[in-house]
Amino acid sequence: MPSEVDLQRPNVARMHDYYLGGAHNFAADRELADGVLRIFPRTAELARTNRFFLRDAVRRMHAAGVRQFLDLGAGIPTAGAPHVIAQSLDPACRVLAVDREAVVVSHTRALLADNPLADVVQADLRDVDLVLGSGPGRRLIDREKPVGILVGGVLHFLSDGEEPEKAIFDYHREVASGSQLALSHVVSSQEGDGGCPPGVRERVDDLYARSSGKLEWRTVPEVARLFGPFALVDPGLAPLGCWRTGEYAADSASPPLPAVAGLARKR
Protein backbone atom coordinates (compact mmCIF):
# COMPACT_ATOMS: atom_id res chain seq x y z
CA MET A 1 0.00 0.00 0.00
CA PRO A 2 1.57 3.35 -1.02
CA SER A 3 2.23 5.71 1.93
CA GLU A 4 0.08 8.49 0.41
CA VAL A 5 -3.06 6.31 0.62
CA ASP A 6 -5.34 7.80 3.30
CA LEU A 7 -7.59 5.10 4.79
CA GLN A 8 -9.60 7.53 6.93
CA ARG A 9 -10.80 9.80 4.15
CA PRO A 10 -13.42 8.23 1.85
CA ASN A 11 -12.04 7.92 -1.64
CA VAL A 12 -14.23 8.05 -4.77
CA ALA A 13 -12.29 5.27 -6.50
CA ARG A 14 -12.76 2.92 -3.54
CA MET A 15 -16.42 3.95 -3.14
CA HIS A 16 -16.93 3.12 -6.81
CA ASP A 17 -15.27 -0.26 -6.23
CA TYR A 18 -17.73 -0.83 -3.35
CA TYR A 19 -20.75 0.06 -5.53
CA LEU A 20 -19.47 -2.51 -8.05
CA GLY A 21 -19.11 -5.22 -5.39
CA GLY A 22 -15.29 -5.11 -5.32
CA ALA A 23 -13.06 -5.83 -2.34
CA HIS A 24 -10.67 -2.86 -2.54
CA ASN A 25 -12.41 -0.52 -0.11
CA PHE A 26 -12.22 0.36 3.57
CA ALA A 27 -14.67 1.14 6.38
CA ALA A 28 -14.63 4.91 5.73
CA ASP A 29 -15.43 4.33 2.02
CA ARG A 30 -18.24 1.88 2.77
CA GLU A 31 -19.79 4.12 5.40
CA LEU A 32 -20.02 7.12 3.05
CA ALA A 33 -21.10 4.96 0.10
CA ASP A 34 -23.85 3.41 2.23
CA GLY A 35 -25.00 6.94 3.08
CA VAL A 36 -25.20 7.74 -0.65
CA LEU A 37 -27.08 4.48 -1.28
CA ARG A 38 -29.63 5.40 1.40
CA ILE A 39 -30.32 8.73 -0.36
CA PHE A 40 -30.11 7.39 -3.90
CA PRO A 41 -30.42 3.57 -3.86
CA ARG A 42 -29.80 3.30 -7.61
CA THR A 43 -26.17 4.46 -7.29
CA ALA A 44 -24.85 0.89 -7.52
CA GLU A 45 -27.06 0.23 -10.55
CA LEU A 46 -25.67 3.41 -12.10
CA ALA A 47 -22.07 2.24 -11.57
CA ARG A 48 -22.86 -1.18 -13.07
CA THR A 49 -24.71 0.34 -16.01
CA ASN A 50 -21.74 2.59 -16.65
CA ARG A 51 -19.59 -0.53 -16.92
CA PHE A 52 -22.07 -1.92 -19.49
CA PHE A 53 -21.63 1.28 -21.46
CA LEU A 54 -17.83 0.95 -21.38
CA ARG A 55 -18.09 -2.72 -22.39
CA ASP A 56 -20.33 -1.79 -25.33
CA ALA A 57 -18.06 1.10 -26.31
CA VAL A 58 -14.95 -1.14 -26.32
CA ARG A 59 -16.81 -3.69 -28.47
CA ARG A 60 -17.91 -1.03 -30.96
CA MET A 61 -14.42 0.47 -31.08
CA HIS A 62 -12.90 -2.97 -31.60
CA ALA A 63 -15.40 -3.67 -34.42
CA ALA A 64 -14.23 -0.41 -36.03
CA GLY A 65 -10.62 -1.65 -35.96
CA VAL A 66 -9.37 0.05 -32.79
CA ARG A 67 -6.74 -2.06 -30.98
CA GLN A 68 -5.35 0.41 -28.45
CA PHE A 69 -7.22 2.02 -25.59
CA LEU A 70 -6.65 4.87 -23.20
CA ASP A 71 -8.76 4.43 -20.06
CA LEU A 72 -8.81 7.87 -18.40
CA GLY A 73 -9.90 7.90 -14.74
CA ALA A 74 -9.86 4.12 -14.96
CA GLY A 75 -10.69 3.43 -11.31
CA ILE A 76 -9.87 0.23 -9.45
CA PRO A 77 -10.01 -2.67 -11.95
CA THR A 78 -13.07 -4.38 -10.47
CA ALA A 79 -14.57 -7.21 -12.60
CA GLY A 80 -15.34 -6.23 -16.19
CA ALA A 81 -12.64 -3.56 -16.48
CA PRO A 82 -12.02 -2.29 -20.02
CA HIS A 83 -8.62 -3.99 -20.39
CA VAL A 84 -10.31 -7.36 -19.73
CA ILE A 85 -13.02 -6.67 -22.33
CA ALA A 86 -10.53 -5.44 -24.95
CA GLN A 87 -8.11 -8.31 -24.50
CA SER A 88 -10.94 -10.87 -24.51
CA LEU A 89 -11.84 -9.58 -27.98
CA ASP A 90 -8.21 -9.62 -29.13
CA PRO A 91 -5.33 -10.52 -26.80
CA ALA A 92 -3.12 -8.16 -28.83
CA CYS A 93 -5.13 -5.11 -27.68
CA ARG A 94 -3.05 -2.61 -25.72
CA VAL A 95 -4.53 -0.66 -22.83
CA LEU A 96 -3.13 2.24 -20.84
CA ALA A 97 -5.05 3.01 -17.64
CA VAL A 98 -4.68 6.50 -16.15
CA ASP A 99 -5.77 7.61 -12.71
CA ARG A 100 -4.68 10.33 -10.33
CA GLU A 101 -5.20 8.21 -7.21
CA ALA A 102 -2.28 6.26 -5.77
CA VAL A 103 -4.62 3.54 -4.49
CA VAL A 104 -5.90 2.86 -8.00
CA VAL A 105 -2.43 2.79 -9.47
CA SER A 106 -1.07 0.36 -6.88
CA HIS A 107 -3.96 -2.12 -7.33
CA THR A 108 -3.83 -1.84 -11.11
CA ARG A 109 -0.06 -2.24 -11.25
CA ALA A 110 -0.26 -5.43 -9.16
CA LEU A 111 -3.07 -6.81 -11.32
CA LEU A 112 -1.28 -6.05 -14.58
CA ALA A 113 2.13 -7.36 -13.51
CA ASP A 114 1.91 -10.30 -15.94
CA ASN A 115 0.19 -8.35 -18.71
CA PRO A 116 2.83 -6.81 -21.00
CA LEU A 117 0.20 -5.13 -23.18
CA ALA A 118 -1.49 -3.19 -20.39
CA ASP A 119 -0.11 -0.72 -17.87
CA VAL A 120 -1.08 2.18 -15.65
CA VAL A 121 0.15 5.74 -15.23
CA GLN A 122 -0.54 7.93 -12.23
CA ALA A 123 -1.52 11.30 -13.67
CA ASP A 124 -4.22 13.87 -13.82
CA LEU A 125 -5.94 13.00 -17.08
CA ARG A 126 -5.66 16.69 -18.11
CA ASP A 127 -1.89 16.35 -18.32
CA VAL A 128 -1.96 14.95 -21.84
CA ASP A 129 1.81 15.31 -22.30
CA LEU A 130 2.51 13.33 -19.13
CA VAL A 131 0.00 10.61 -20.09
CA LEU A 132 1.14 10.11 -23.69
CA GLY A 133 4.80 10.95 -23.05
CA SER A 134 5.20 8.57 -20.08
CA GLY A 135 7.17 5.34 -20.58
CA PRO A 136 4.00 3.19 -20.69
CA GLY A 137 2.29 5.82 -22.87
CA ARG A 138 5.06 5.68 -25.48
CA ARG A 139 5.30 1.88 -25.28
CA LEU A 140 1.58 1.12 -25.57
CA ILE A 141 0.04 3.93 -27.62
CA ASP A 142 1.02 4.30 -31.27
CA ARG A 143 0.11 7.90 -32.16
CA GLU A 144 -0.16 6.98 -35.86
CA LYS A 145 -3.06 4.59 -35.21
CA PRO A 146 -6.60 5.21 -33.89
CA VAL A 147 -7.01 5.14 -30.13
CA GLY A 148 -10.16 4.32 -28.17
CA ILE A 149 -10.39 6.93 -25.41
CA LEU A 150 -12.61 5.94 -22.48
CA VAL A 151 -13.74 8.62 -20.03
CA GLY A 152 -16.31 6.74 -17.99
CA GLY A 153 -17.80 8.54 -15.00
CA VAL A 154 -14.83 10.85 -14.55
CA LEU A 155 -15.41 14.34 -15.89
CA HIS A 156 -18.11 14.96 -13.26
CA PHE A 157 -15.24 15.11 -10.78
CA LEU A 158 -13.83 18.14 -12.63
CA SER A 159 -15.30 21.63 -12.19
CA ASP A 160 -15.69 23.99 -15.14
CA GLY A 161 -12.68 25.91 -13.78
CA GLU A 162 -10.59 22.75 -14.16
CA GLU A 163 -11.38 22.82 -17.89
CA PRO A 164 -12.45 19.25 -18.69
CA GLU A 165 -13.39 20.36 -22.22
CA LYS A 166 -9.84 21.57 -22.88
CA ALA A 167 -8.49 18.13 -21.96
CA ILE A 168 -10.77 16.56 -24.59
CA PHE A 169 -9.56 19.08 -27.19
CA ASP A 170 -5.94 18.25 -26.26
CA TYR A 171 -6.48 14.50 -26.74
CA HIS A 172 -8.31 15.17 -30.02
CA ARG A 173 -5.27 17.09 -31.27
CA GLU A 174 -2.82 14.37 -30.26
CA VAL A 175 -4.56 11.22 -31.57
CA ALA A 176 -4.88 9.85 -35.12
CA SER A 177 -8.06 10.30 -37.13
CA GLY A 178 -10.44 7.39 -36.66
CA SER A 179 -9.84 7.60 -32.90
CA GLN A 180 -12.98 7.33 -30.79
CA LEU A 181 -14.16 8.81 -27.52
CA ALA A 182 -16.58 7.13 -25.09
CA LEU A 183 -17.79 9.51 -22.38
CA SER A 184 -20.36 9.13 -19.60
CA HIS A 185 -21.43 11.71 -17.03
CA VAL A 186 -24.09 12.25 -14.34
CA VAL A 187 -26.78 14.79 -15.19
CA SER A 188 -28.94 17.18 -13.21
CA SER A 189 -32.66 17.26 -13.86
CA GLN A 190 -34.61 19.47 -16.18
CA GLU A 191 -38.29 18.82 -15.53
CA GLY A 192 -38.64 15.07 -15.28
CA ASP A 193 -36.03 14.18 -17.90
CA GLY A 194 -34.47 11.53 -15.68
CA GLY A 195 -31.77 13.80 -14.26
CA CYS A 196 -31.10 13.89 -10.54
CA PRO A 197 -33.57 16.24 -8.78
CA PRO A 198 -32.13 19.10 -6.68
CA GLY A 199 -33.23 17.72 -3.28
CA VAL A 200 -31.42 14.41 -3.83
CA ARG A 201 -28.45 16.09 -5.47
CA GLU A 202 -27.80 18.42 -2.54
CA ARG A 203 -27.81 15.55 -0.04
CA VAL A 204 -25.52 13.44 -2.23
CA ASP A 205 -23.22 16.46 -2.69
CA ASP A 206 -23.00 16.95 1.09
CA LEU A 207 -21.73 13.39 1.42
CA TYR A 208 -19.30 13.57 -1.52
CA ALA A 209 -17.88 16.79 -0.02
CA ARG A 210 -16.36 14.54 2.66
CA SER A 211 -14.62 12.37 0.06
CA SER A 212 -11.67 12.83 -2.30
CA GLY A 213 -13.93 14.10 -5.09
CA LYS A 214 -16.68 16.71 -5.34
CA LEU A 215 -19.43 15.95 -7.85
CA GLU A 216 -20.14 18.41 -10.67
CA TRP A 217 -23.64 17.89 -12.03
CA ARG A 218 -24.14 19.10 -15.61
CA THR A 219 -27.15 19.32 -17.88
CA VAL A 220 -27.36 17.17 -21.02
CA PRO A 221 -26.34 20.10 -23.32
CA GLU A 222 -23.39 20.84 -21.03
CA VAL A 223 -22.26 17.21 -21.25
CA ALA A 224 -22.67 17.34 -25.06
CA ARG A 225 -20.22 20.25 -25.14
CA LEU A 226 -17.58 18.16 -23.36
CA PHE A 227 -17.18 16.06 -26.53
CA GLY A 228 -15.52 19.12 -28.11
CA PRO A 229 -14.39 18.44 -31.69
CA PHE A 230 -15.22 14.71 -31.55
CA ALA A 231 -18.36 14.00 -33.63
CA LEU A 232 -21.06 11.97 -31.86
CA VAL A 233 -22.05 8.77 -33.65
CA ASP A 234 -25.30 6.80 -33.50
CA PRO A 235 -27.23 6.81 -31.12
CA GLY A 236 -25.77 10.17 -30.02
CA LEU A 237 -25.71 11.29 -26.41
CA ALA A 238 -28.23 8.90 -24.88
CA PRO A 239 -29.50 7.97 -21.40
CA LEU A 240 -26.99 5.59 -19.83
CA GLY A 241 -29.46 2.68 -19.76
CA CYS A 242 -29.76 2.74 -23.57
CA TRP A 243 -26.26 1.31 -23.76
CA ARG A 244 -27.36 -1.91 -22.05
CA THR A 245 -28.10 -4.11 -25.01
CA GLY A 246 -28.88 -7.76 -25.74
CA GLU A 247 -28.68 -10.02 -22.69
CA TYR A 248 -27.74 -7.00 -20.56
CA ALA A 249 -30.72 -4.87 -21.61
CA ALA A 250 -32.26 -2.81 -18.82
CA ASP A 251 -35.86 -3.40 -17.81
CA SER A 252 -37.77 -1.00 -20.08
CA ALA A 253 -40.16 -0.22 -17.19
CA SER A 254 -37.40 1.15 -14.94
CA PRO A 255 -37.05 4.96 -14.90
CA PRO A 256 -33.94 6.45 -16.53
CA LEU A 257 -30.79 6.80 -14.45
CA PRO A 258 -29.47 10.35 -13.97
CA ALA A 259 -26.58 9.91 -16.39
CA VAL A 260 -25.92 10.04 -20.12
CA ALA A 261 -23.27 8.52 -22.35
CA GLY A 262 -22.12 8.83 -25.93
CA LEU A 263 -19.61 7.57 -28.42
CA ALA A 264 -17.87 9.97 -30.79
CA ARG A 265 -15.20 9.89 -33.49
CA LYS A 266 -12.33 11.99 -34.77
CA ARG A 267 -12.88 12.33 -38.51
Ligand X SMILES: C[S@@+](CC[C@H](N)C(=O)[O-])C[C@H]1O[C@@H](n2cnc3c(N)ncnc32)[C@H](O)[C@@H]1O
Q: How far is the CB of 144 from ligand X (least distance, A)?
A: 25
Determine how many CB atoms are found less than 10 A away from the CB of residue 165: 16
Identified binder of ligand X from the candidate list 31, 124, 174, 222, rule CB under 6 A: 124
For residue 175, give the nearest of 134, 115, 229 by alpha carbon: 229
Between 66 and 105, name the residue whose CB sits nearer to ligand X.
105
Cis peptide preceding 164, ω within 30 of 0: no
User: From the list 28, 32, 33, 54, which residue makes contact with ligand X (rule: CB under 6 A)?
Assistant: 54
| Residue 219 · residue 255 · CB < 8 Å | no
Angle at 62 (CA atoms; ends 57, 65), nearest 5 degrees: 135
CB of 236 to ligand X, least distance (A): 20
Q: Which is nearer to ligand X, 53 or 230 (CB)?
A: 53
Binding mask 11-50 for ligand X (x = CB under 6 A): -xx--x---------------------------------x
**Phi, psi of 84, deg, nearest 5:** -70, -45
Comparing C-alpha atoms, which of 61, 90, 85, 233 is closest to residue 149? Answer: 61
Q: In this complex, which beta carbon is closest to ligand X, that of residue 177 or of residue 186?
A: 186
Position 83 contacts ligand X (CB under 6 A): no
Distance CA 179, CA 55 (A): 17
Stretch that binds ligand X, among 95-103, 188-196, 237-245, 259-267 (CB under 6 A): 95-103
Q: Which amino acid is at 130?
A: L
Of 57, 95, 104, 187, the one binding ligand X (CB under 6 A) is 104
Site size toward ligand X, by CB under 6 A: 23
Report strand pairing: 118-122 vs 259-265.
unpaired
Nearest 5°: the CA angle 184, 189, 190 is 120
- Least CB distance to ligand X at residue 127 (A): 8
Our finding on whether 218 is near ligand X (CB under 6 A) is no
Residues 134-173, one symbol each (x = binds ligand X by CB under 6 A, - = not), give: ------------------xxx--xx---------------
Alpha-carbon distances of 182 from 31, 168, 248, rounded to whole Å = 31, 11, 19
Contacting positions for ligand X (CB under 6 A): 12-13, 16, 50-51, 54, 73-75, 98-101, 104, 124-126, 152-154, 157-158, 213
